Amino acid sequence: MSFSFSPKLGIDLGTTTVLVFVPGRGIVLNEPSVVAVSTRDNKILAVGNEAKEMVGRTPDEIVAYRPMKDGVIADYRVTEAMLRYYIRKALGKWNLFRPEVMVSVPAGVTSTERRAVVEAATKAGAREAYVVKEPILAAIGAGIPIHEARGHMVVDIGGGTTDIAVISLGGIVASTSVKCAGNALDHAIADYVKKTYNLGIGDKSAEDAKIRIGSAVPLEEELSMVVKGRDHLTGLPRTVEIAGNELVRAVGKELRTIINAMKDVLQETPPELAADIIDNGIVMTGGTSLLRNFPELVYRRTGVKARLAKDAPFCVAMGTGEALKHLEAYKKAIIAKR
């Protein structure tokens, strides 16, 4: 075994969250992919949690924004700075060796977008950067034996994108990526509250409501909560009480988009593998798959049993860790060609 000093890092570079995994230590960092930039001199002021605190609360000369849009790099310079900050933070400042980094990308990523990720990671201090498609990493992290000659279906629902793939023999047989996931649900909830109650609420409040009382199918036992926002008519702060089943209606269209994408992939799947999927069920990963009763909705709409992976939000990050551990074995199978 050749001993190399270069540390290894797995990065789940999401639209809303960045997770960093270090083999042997697990997930060492879990922060929002937000960067605060000063418009005056274009300097980067804060990254991650500190920057997220600033969202919606900043004076005019500070802009807090997300350099990743729909799972791909929207702002190259800021993404590079964000990666540099996270790599440094994960390794500690005394580390002299440049790490080998594995970064997740959405299944539908173009070669240009993939190159942008490799370049950003290399410029941010990686000695070697590998990119692997999210559904493969999610499957590895969820403990699915991806090298078997059997079909497994993974649905990874994050903040910006939903990645759906059928995997067999370590490769993707059929897949799609839709730009409809957690953020889209938050916007739908904010829109609904605006239309129904004339109340403007922020994305953060909408997300809180989704997590606390949201559901994919109507609930027998009604949940409700109070949301605070600004009245559109008077311009003054106001609170209203909303019920969970209202939110089911509010996000209906977005959930349909996700389910339809799943149906498309199922329709493209060869019959032999489709039979395996009926036996094995659909595995759901990613933070948004934690929405109450989501697997139940999938089952009702597709007729295929679905289950939530253990530690669903962390599957992609854990998959990078697992793939880094067995890098040589995985290099041939999964690392997308540059």
Which residues are registered as beta bridge partners of 114?
none
Q: Is there a contact between 151 and 280 (Cβ–Cβ < 8 Å)?
A: yes
CA angle 8, 14, 20 (to 5 degrees): 25
Contact present, 9 and 88 (Cβ < 8 Å): no
Measured CA distances, 164 to 29, 153, 265 (Å)? 26, 7, 7
CB 85 within 8 A of CB 18: no
The annotation status of 234 as a binding-site residue, yes or no, is no
Residue 146, SS3 per DSSP: coil
Distance CA 126, CA 130 (A): 10
Query: Residue 155 in contact with residue 262, Cβ under 8 Å?
Result: yes
Q: Is 159 annotated as a binding residue?
A: yes
Task: State the DSSP code for 67.
Answer: S
- Asked if residue 24 belongs to a known ligand binding site, the reply is no
The residue whose two tokens read 């109507």 is 218
Binding site as annotated, residues for ATP: 159-161
Binding-site residue set: 159-161
